[in-house]
Amino acid sequence: AQKVTQAQTEISVVEKEDVTLDCVYETRDTTYYLFWYKQPPSGELVFLIRRNSFDEQNEISGRYSWNFQKSTSSFNFTITASQVVDSAVYFCALSEVTAGNKLTFGGGTRVLVKP
């Protein structure tokens, strides 16, 4: 069965510090997708990134970067030079093609960026 673990429940940093969110997943499929979503206090889910299992290239988007390592089943997310607006809950999620692409979410990591 698919499973996503976000071991960090809450991280508190001071503005401009870097913060890395860990995500470890379990799947028996060879074809799957990994996601990160941001959920600010307003509650909506904001899509950040999707990565398929065949693309291990790391990605950078502005202050965000992602490190996908199949060997350790991890898909970690780093926010560089954090800002107060980054305060939110961040979810890692996995979907398996054989399971209809339904998403399995991790428990989320709450990031609090203090000014």
Partner 1 sequence: GAGVSQSPSNKVTEKGKDVELRCDPISGHTALYWYRQRLGQGLEFLIYFQGNSAPDKSGLPSDRFSAERTGESVSTLTIQRTQQEDSAVYLCASSHYGTGWYGYTFGSGTRLTVV
Contact 90, 40 (CB under 8 A): no
Tell which one of 30, 58, 98, 101 touches partner 1 (CB under 8 A): 101
**Residue 77 in the binding site for partner 1 (CB under 8 A):** no
Applying CB under 8 A, among 47, 57, 62, 85 the residue interacting with partner 1 is: 47
* Closest distance of CB 13 from partner 1, Å: 20
By DSSP bridging, strand 74-79 and strand 19-21 are antiparallel
If one asks whether residue 27 binds partner 1 (CB under 8 A), the answer comes out as no
- Could you give the C-alpha distances from 68 to 27, 31, 44, 90, 114, in angstroms and in order? 15, 14, 25, 16, 28
Biggest CA–CA distance in the chain, Å, is: 44
70 binds partner 1 (CB under 8 A): no
Which residues are at the interface with partner 1 (CB under 8 A)? 33, 35, 43-45, 47, 50, 91, 93, 99-108
